[in-house]
Amino acid sequence: MDKGTATNMFESLSSGIRLDIVRLLVRYGHEGLVAGELAETLELPRTNLSFHLKTLTQAGLLSVTQEGRYQRYRANLDAMRDLVAYLTENCCAAEADGCVLPVARNCAG
Amino acid sequence: MDKGTATNMFESLSSGIRLDIVRLLVRYGHEGLVAGELAETLELPRTNLSFHLKTLTQAGLLSVTQEGRYQRYRANLDAMRDLVAYLTENCCAAEADGCVLPVARNCAG
DNA sequence: ACAATATTTCAATCCTAATTGAATATTCGA
DNA sequence: TCGAATATTCAATTAGGATTGAAATATTGT
């Protein structure tokens, strides 16, 4: 992952609303949610939600597919993993210094 | 880690300059660097650097100690690990869905 | 074609971040 | 104490993100 991609993703995750969107979509996995469901769940005006969804999608953190007149959004788990890897590699590469990261578990919850 | 802390950290890492600062300081480990060394290495005006250092320190990603008239900055590796853990837990908790995160290595590399 | 639904784009406003030079502490060495 | 060095704070400007309602786009069902 290049630096620009990483900073775009970090910027996307720097908004509480967008972090909520991502966490919600991650919980829904491959099923995802359509825009209207997201707006209802998060109690956001549609235009505002649309703005944040666009930001997240452009950053690569979400994917979107059209289903008739609905837009279904899904979290991009590959991107998440890449971002975690980037953070691990670039921000924890010092001389041993007690730098032991937590081992990732499987995601059964 | 609470959501506000996480979003503050993500916002800090959303600037290319600040990401450079963090990566540089991580490489210097416990030794860290004083502000002047950072400014020279990154070729930044002192006031601008000071601004970004303050942002990073307030977000908890850096620590700073005074050494005479110098200010020595160090990356806060604990905070980095916490942020990676937050991202792993909150953004990779779906139903199995191929959600296998890379296992964190030791940081000798 | 028409009306209804779902979502985005547009335009305007507000708020906050980024950048810079000048001024202000604070510390060190002579 | 005085001058030099280090770094931050302040004030001003510029740029970009956040939010909202109205308008536009696209799809469905009749």
C-alpha dihedral sign at B100, B101, B106, B109: positive
CA distance B93 to A64: 20
Nearest to A96 among B8, B27, B108 (CB): B108
Which residue's CA lies closest to nucleotide D22 at its C1' atom?
Answer: A47
Per-residue pLDDT of chain B (109 residues), as tens digits, is 999 999 999 999 999 999 999 999 999 999 999 999 999 999 999 999 999 999 999 999 999 999 999 999 999 999 999 999 999 998 876 554 444 433 333 333 3
Give the three-state DSSP class for B60: coil
Q: Report angle CA B86, A89, B100 to the nearest 5 degrees.
A: 55
Helix, strand, coil percent content, chain B, rounded in steps of 5 = 55, 15, 30
Helix, strand, coil percent content, chain A, rounded in steps of 5 = 55, 15, 30
Query: Which of B2, B22, B91, B95 to probe the A interface (max A CBs under 10 A)?
Result: B91
CA distance B85 to A89: 14
Instruction: Provide the strand spans (E) within B2-106.
Output: 33-34, 62-67, 70-75
Give the three-state DSSP class for A39: helix
**Closest nucleotide to residue B55 (Cα to C1')?**
C17
Segment A46-56, tens digit of pLDDT: 999 999 999 99
The two three-digit tokens of residue B55, written as one number: 């942002």
Contact B29 A94 (CB under 8 A): yes
Assign A94 a pLDDT band (cuts: 50, 70, 90): low
CA distance A84 to A67: 31
